[in-house]
Amino acid sequence: MIVLPLPYTPFKSSEVKHRPVRTMPRLVPYITRREGEESAPDDLVFVQSGPHPARLHYRWETERDRDLRGVLWARCSQTPPDRRGMPTGQPRWRLVHPARQRYAMRHMLCQVCVRPARTPLGYIFLEGPQELRSEDDLVLTAQPPVCAKHVVSAARLCPHLDGRPLVYLTQASPLYGVHGTVYDHGDEGVFVKALPKTALPYGSDVLRNVLASKLVRRLKTFQLITLEELMRALDAAAA
């Protein structure tokens, strides 16, 4: 069942966009990239293996460079963790760390605190207000879930959500594929062939040539509600 949200204003946009830097909260989502975390130098090659088409590789590749479906992932450095195991450094708010996004999404952990995200209502996924889809659309997300404790924090902090997110409640969200860059090779070496705007599904032949940056899940059965309705339902479940 899909319940479309009614118009509401959980937060004033001006409070989110124009809050002075000195009053910004210290909380930073786990998946947010930090200052000093940079993409690794380009070290990509195509390798021929038996009768199969050439496949994208790192020149010096490790097991950690591929996910369980064999897709190659973008490398990015990480700042030293703090005593809680959380990343350190000033946040780069509009950037997501590929390894941390992949870890949180794969294990269904909260994108803010990286703890189990399941709530008494199921899993909570947040999307930007411009992402409203019709009932017939395939609903995909690259935003890891959020736990009940950090729903409001995520809505306030994430520029993509703009303080007024769409809230999806779901019990089932299987892995779908990845967002990434498609590469090819020629006489002058490896080059970028395409930057797809849509997610590439697992099982696609093109994934042999992809460097992934975000893991994507599909929301199978969900309820779409407002943030206010969600908070009331969580309070009722806790009671």
Find the radius of gyration of the CA atoms of the chain: 19
pLDDT (tens digit, 9 = 90+) per residue, 136-186?
A: 578 899 999 999 999 998 888 877 777 778 899 999 999 999 999 999 999
Per-residue model confidence as pLDDT tens digits over 20-67: 434 444 789 999 999 999 998 879 999 988 788 899 999 999 999 999
Query: Over 80: is that where the pLDDT of 219 sits?
Result: yes
Task: Tell me the pLDDT tens digit for each residue of 222-236.
Answer: 999 989 999 999 999
Per-residue DSSP letters for 133-162?
--TTS--EE-S--B-GGGHHHHHHH-TTTT
Predicted TM-score (pTM) of this structure? 0.85
| pLDDT for 161 | 76
Task: Please provide residue 99's backbone torsions phi and psi, each rounded to the nearest 5 degrees.
Answer: -70, -40
Please report the DSSP string for the chain in residue order: ---PPPP--SS-HHHHHS--GGGS-S---TTEEETT--BPPP-EEEEEETTEEEEEEETT--GGGB-TT--EE--B--PPP-TTS---S-EEEEEE-HHHHHHHHHHTB-TTT-SB--BTTBEEEEE-GGG---TTS--EE-S--B-GGGHHHHHHH-TTTTT--EEEEEEE--EEEEEEEEEEEETTEEEEEE--SSPEETT-GGGGGEEEEEEEEE--EEEEE-HHHHHHHHHHHH-
